[in-house]
């Protein structure tokens, strides 16, 4: 697939969004292709979570369009997008803490139209993939932090997405857990899912992403391979606030 093929991509085109005069996004163009891991980085408050909200139907842009596999889906609500193959995780929790680990995954599968048998089968496979099979009958609240983060991704995967948007999934993980998490992300992309990865851990981003998109002050600022971005003076300036983009 090439970058010019819009038929298998989730794209934000010319997105603007302001909240009570605060311009959170003011010109973002980003394309997530199936089967790739695309990193989304930028300083605090750059607009990364706001963009994820746009791409997943939790908010709508003031200007611009969201395109899914060549169809304009701007303004579609989140539940409709979830059923159409777009899944996300959140910076915090969103788990059902008193349900078992297995039930958390099954509920997500049922919510997007799976039968009970399918939901059970999917949950078994996902808990295996995410290294949580031996904890599947425990309440979610008893999980250590690393497994809790993975359960959030397993729940998103239970909707059988074509696109998976991960908002700081590795926050609070130790180095070993981050390494394992990176491998899980790569294995998800290898099944043909497009993964958008937001994280402040640049080492994780560099290790797992094919391309990296940088947002600064609500604008698309730079995009390239890890090597291109690593060597970019513009990136250093963006993080040090000397970008001159006002």
Ligand X SMILES: Nc1ncnc2c1ncn2[C@@H]1O[C@H](COP(=O)(O)OP(=O)(O)OP(=O)(O)O)[C@@H](O)[C@H]1O
The length of the chain in residues reads: 246
Closer Cβ to ligand X, 48 or 211, answer by number: 48
| 246 forms part of the interface with ligand X (CB under 6 A) | no
Q: Are strands 219-224 and 71-72 parallel, antiparallel or unpaired?
A: unpaired
Binding test (CB under 6 A) with ligand X, winner from 4, 44, 233, 246 = 44
Per-residue contact string for residues 14-33; x = within reach of ligand X by CB under 6 A: -----x--x-x---------
C-alpha 169/C-alpha 84 separation (Å) is 22
**Contact flag: residue 117 with ligand X (CB under 6 A):** no
With H, G, I as helix, E, B as strand and everything else as coil, classify residue 29: strand
Three-class SS state of 240: helix
Least CB distance from residue 106 to ligand X, whole Å?
30
The residue range among 41-49, 146-154, 203-211, 223-231 that interacts with ligand X, by the rule CB under 6 A, is 41-49
Query: Positive or negative CA dihedral for 240, 242, 243, 246?
Result: positive
The one among 12, 33, 38, 50 contacting ligand X by CB under 6 A: 50
Q: Is 42 in the site for ligand X (CB under 6 A)?
A: yes
Q: Which of 30, 46, 158, 189 binds ligand X (CB under 6 A)?
A: 46
Q: What share of residues in the chain are helix, strand, coil (percent, to 5)?
A: 40, 25, 35
Residue 172 in the binding site for ligand X (CB under 6 A): no
Give the interface size with ligand X as a residue count (CB under 6 A): 11
Which residue is associated with the tokens 């090439």?
Answer: 2
Q: Which tokens in the block code for residue 7?
A: 């038929």
Distance (Å, whole) CA 32 – CA 45: 21
Q: Does 88 bind ligand X (CB under 6 A)?
A: no
Residues that bind ligand X (CB under 6 A): 19, 22, 24, 42, 44-50
């Amino acid at each position: 697939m090439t970058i010019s093929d819009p038929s298998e991509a989730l794209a934000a085109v010319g997105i603007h969004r302001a909240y009570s005069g605060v311009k959170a996004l003011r010109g973002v163009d980003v394309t997530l292709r199936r089967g790739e891991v695309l990193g989304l980085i930028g300083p605090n408050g750059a607009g990364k979570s706001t963009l994820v909200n746009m791409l997943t139907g939790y908010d709508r842009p003031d200007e611009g369009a969201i395109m899914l596999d060549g169809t304009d889906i701007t303004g579609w609500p989140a539940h409709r997008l979830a059923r159409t193959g777009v899944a996300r995780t959140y910076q915090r929790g969103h788990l059902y803490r008193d349900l078992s680990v297995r039930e958390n995954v099954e509920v997500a599968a049922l919510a997007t139209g799976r039968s009970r048998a399918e939901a059970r089968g999917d949950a078994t496979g996902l808990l295996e993939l995410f290294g949580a099979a031996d904890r599947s009958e425990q309440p979610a609240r008893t999980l250590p932090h690393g497994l809790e983060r993975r359960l959030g991704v397993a729940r998103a995967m239970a909707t059988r997405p074509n696109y998976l948007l991960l908002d700081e999934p590795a926050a609070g993980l130790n180095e070993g857990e981050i390494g394992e998490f990176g491998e899980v992300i790569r294995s998800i992309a290898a099944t043909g899912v497009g993964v958008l990865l937001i994280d402040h851990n640049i080492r994780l981003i560099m290790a797992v992403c094919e391309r990296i998109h940088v947002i600064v002050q609500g604008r698309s600022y730079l995009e390239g391979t890890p090597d291109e971005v690593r060597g970019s003076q513009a990136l250093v300036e963006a993080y040090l606030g000397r970008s001159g983009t006002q």
